[in-house]
């Protein structure tokens, strides 16, 4: 496969109907021609400043038309895309710029205006390019960052097309480089097209993709890539607002959407009208565990099946998930499952202390994945899982999250899933607290739904005893106004520990 395959395809997409709307964000739109012209100007600025085609380039990943233009330019030009998160404290963003040592960064004027950012870029010897607006997308060199400094800069990584960031739920986000030969099959798999599909079949899609997950998150980045690969227009949301999302679904008669569990909960709480979602044939859910009762409540209210997907931090694109046929046959019996392996994926569960000791159906161990997209070897994840006799995958938390209470292992997600069923509880999270006698004990943080009365610790203990063995019951229950979350709306465990003083 040509190392320029994806760039060539996206260039072809831009030329299909240059005057057609490519991106809509609020009251602004950008055409495919707008993206193309901005991409050409960005390419010219990078080349004029002597930046080689394989250089890693920083991309501040906002859900805005200008950021889409920047992304398109880097993919077409053959540069490696290094996503940078905009939604963080300015000091952290500045520190990341300094740490990444990039020869160039593409960012909105709003990002360059943050305190300390320009100084950090100067220190790193970074060429600063401002990309903002929609139609037209405006590009210019930052007056204080008008040339590439001496560095030292990050070295090129031949064969890699972009980096993806992990969610950061257990610590600082990690950067995982992705090769094009891995990315293309993942896009083809998601599109459900054969690898031999002819380039001449490429045509502009009528139904847009609603992109609401942050582009700095793996799911958001993959959604953007898939829309570009499919020649599909995009509706961008920088923040998930249930009414805005539902109105977009109704306006464009969207047939399939992708949400995280927290968003599904917000839709129910907002009491979105059923008629707004009547075009939907299915919703795909991933990123975080989906409570079975939440899934059932949503499906009963809106008549739309939720198909859960699973993709571990080590991969881009899904490795397991539900189909509509499986949902019709097994939804009631296997609601806690994240589906079955994709057609090109093999899954196995092995003992925690022996990766070669494969476990039988139903036993809990560490999940490993094998797929030609990611190489010839088995890849061991950090997820605890089991696979039943029908091939359905069940997740039981992460191996490094397990709490050891005097020799008894507690999986936090199992405890949290029970606490979420208490009336009025919007969400719950469980983490370990150091204990001199037992080593660790579980502590629960509870977020209540708006207007709900918080229960007492005794009430929660009594409720938990109905489903949990005594050693699994938390020793403390903290009612919090809101659980801290990452950009992907997962609970951030480091921030939660800091909030609780643990």
Task: Give pLDDT tens digits for 67-76.
Answer: 999 999 999 9
- Per-residue confidence (pLDDT) for residue 9, from 0 to 100: 92
With a cut of 60, say whether residue 200 has pLDDT above it: no
Which has the closest alpha carbon to 3: 172, 182, 175? 182
Which has the closest alpha carbon to 442: 396, 465, 409? 409
pTM of the model: 0.78
With a cut of 60, say whether residue 168 has pLDDT above it: no
Task: Give pLDDT tens digits for 451-470.
Answer: 899 999 999 999 999 999 99
Confidence class of residue 170 from pLDDT cuts 50, 70 and 90?
low
Helix, strand, coil tally for the chain in percent (to 5): 35, 30, 40
Range of 167-176, 189-198, 391-400 with top mean pLDDT: 391-400
Q: Which of 1-15, 121-135, 220-234, 272-286 has the lowest mean pLDDT?
A: 1-15
> Are the beta carbons of 434 and 440 closer than 8 angstroms?
yes
Interval 96-122 mean pLDDT? 92
Kindly provide the residue ranges of all beta strands, DSSP E only, lying in 262-353, ordered along the sequence. 282-285, 306-310, 320-321, 337-341, 345-351
Task: Give pLDDT tens digits for 36-71.
Answer: 999 999 999 999 999 988 899 999 999 999 999 999
With a cut of 70, say whether residue 167 has pLDDT above it: no
For residue 58, what are the domain limits? 5-201
Whether residue 278 is contained in a domain is answered as no
Q: Which of 201, 218, 253 is the last residue of a domain?
A: 201
With a cut of 70, say whether residue 88 has pLDDT above it: no
Q: How far is CA 234 from the centre of its chain?
A: 17
Helix (H, G, I), strand (E, B) or coil at 180: helix
Rounded Cα distance, 248 and 277, in Å = 10
> Which has more pLDDT, 373 or 84?
84
With a cut of 50, say whether residue 198 has pLDDT above it: no
Q: Residue 302 CB: number of other CB atoms within 10 A?
A: 20
Whether residue 395 is contained in a domain is answered as no
With a cut of 50, say whether residue 476 has pLDDT above it: yes
Which has the closest alpha carbon to 66: 177, 140, 165, 167? 140
CATH number of the domain that residue 463 is part of: 3.30.300.30
Distances (CA, A) of 190 to 226, 246, 286, 436: 8, 24, 14, 49
- Per-residue confidence (pLDDT) for residue 393, from 0 to 100: 95
Distances (CA, A) of 65 to 27, 46, 71, 297: 12, 20, 10, 35
- What phi and psi values does residue 76 have, to the nearest 5 degrees? -65, -40
Whether residue 158 is contained in a domain is answered as yes
- What phi and psi values does residue 273 have, to the nearest 5 degrees? -65, 140
Q: What percent of the chain has pLDDT over 70?
A: 94
Q: Which of 201, 227, 260 is the last residue of a domain?
A: 201
Q: How many domains does the chain have?
A: 2
> Are the beta carbons of 419 and 444 closer than 8 angstroms?
yes
Confidence class of residue 214 from pLDDT cuts 50, 70 and 90?
confident
With a cut of 50, say whether residue 196 has pLDDT above it: no
CA-derived radius of gyration, the chain? 23
- Per-residue confidence (pLDDT) for residue 194, from 0 to 100: 36
Whether residue 215 is contained in a domain is answered as no
CATH number of the domain that residue 38 is part of: 3.40.50.980
Interval 165-173 mean pLDDT? 61
Q: What percent of the chain has pLDDT over 90?
A: 55
Whether residue 156 is contained in a domain is answered as yes
Rounded Cα distance, 234 and 237, in Å = 10
Task: Give pLDDT tens digits for 385-413.
Answer: 999 999 999 988 877 788 889 878 888 88
Whether residue 38 is contained in a domain is answered as yes
Q: Which of 158, 180, 201 is the last residue of a domain?
A: 201
Q: Residue 9 CB: number of other CB atoms within 10 A?
A: 19
Query: Which three-class secondary structure string do you get for 186-242?
Result: HHHHHHCCCCCCCHHHCCCCCCCEEECCCCCCHHHHHHHHHHHHHCCCEEECCCCCH
Distances (CA, A) of 101 to 120, 155, 196: 10, 9, 40
Rounded Cα distance, 67 and 462, in Å = 51
> Which has more pLDDT, 218 or 170?
218
Whether residue 362 is contained in a domain is answered as no
Helix (H, G, I), strand (E, B) or coil at 497: helix
- What phi and psi values does residue 182 have, to the nearest 5 degrees? -90, -40
């Amino acid at each position: 496969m040509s190392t320029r395959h994806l760039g060539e395809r996206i260039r072809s997409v831009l030329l299909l109907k240059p005057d057609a709307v490519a991106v809509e964000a609020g009251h602004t739109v950008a055409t495919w021609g707008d993206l193309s012209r901005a991409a050409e100007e960005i390419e010219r600025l990078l080349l004029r400043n002597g930046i080689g085609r394989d250089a890693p380039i920083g991309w501040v990943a906002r859900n805005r038309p200008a950021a889409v233009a920047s992304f398109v330019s880097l993919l077409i030009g053959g540069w490696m895309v290094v996503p940078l998160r905009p939604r963080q404290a300015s000091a952290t963003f500045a520190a990341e710029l300094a740490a990444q040592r990039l020869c160039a960064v593409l960012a909105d004027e709003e990002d360059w205006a943050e305190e300390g950012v320009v100084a950090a870029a100067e220190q790193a010897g970074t060429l600063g390019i401002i990309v903002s607006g929609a139609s037209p997308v405006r590009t210019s060199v930052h007056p204080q960052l008008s040339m590439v400094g001496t560095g030292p800069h990050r070295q090129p990584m031949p064969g890699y097309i972009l980096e993806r960031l992990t969610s950061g739920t257990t610590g600082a986000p990690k950067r995982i480089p992705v090769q094009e030969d891995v990315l293309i099959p993942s896009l083809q798999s998601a599109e459900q097209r054969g690898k031999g599909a002819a380039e001449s079949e490429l045509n502009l899609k009528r139904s847009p993709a609603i992109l609401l997950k942050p582009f700095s998150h793996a799911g958001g980045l993959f959604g953007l890539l898939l829309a570009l690969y499919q020649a599909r227009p995009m509706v961008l949301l920088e923040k998930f607002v249930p009414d805005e999302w539902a109105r977009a679904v109704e306006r464009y008669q969207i047939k399939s959407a992708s949400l995280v569990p927290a968003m599904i909960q917000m839709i129910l709480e907002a009491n979105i009208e059923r008629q707004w979602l009547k075009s939907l044939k299915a919703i795909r859910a991933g990123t975080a565990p989906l409570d079975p009762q939440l899934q059932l409540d949503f499906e009963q209210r809106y008549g739309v099946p939720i198909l859960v997907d699973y993709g571990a931090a080590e991969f881009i694109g899904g490795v397991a998930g539900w189909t509509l046929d499986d949902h019709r046959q097994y939804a009631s019996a296997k609601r806690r499952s994240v589906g079955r392996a994709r057609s090109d994926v093999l899954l196995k569960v092995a003992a925690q202390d022996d990766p070669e000791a494969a476990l039988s159906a139903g036993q809990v161990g560490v999940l490993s994945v094998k797929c030609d997209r990611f190489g010839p070897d088995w890849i061991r994840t950090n997820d605890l899982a089991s696979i039943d006799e029908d091939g359905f995958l069940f997740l039981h938390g992460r191996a490094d999250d397990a709490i050891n209470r005097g020799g008894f292992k507690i999986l936090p997600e199992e405890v949290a899933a029970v606490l979420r069923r208490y009336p009025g509880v919007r969400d719950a999270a469980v983490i370990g607290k150091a204990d001199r006698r037992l080593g660790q004990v579980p502590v629960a943080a509870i977020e209540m739904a708006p207007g709900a009365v918080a229960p007492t610790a005794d009430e929660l203990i009594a409720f938990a005893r109905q489903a949990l063995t005594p050693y699994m019951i938390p020793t403390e229950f903290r009612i919090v106004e809101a659980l801290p979350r990452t950009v992907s709306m997962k609970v951030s465990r480091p921030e939660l520990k800091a909030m609780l003083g643990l």
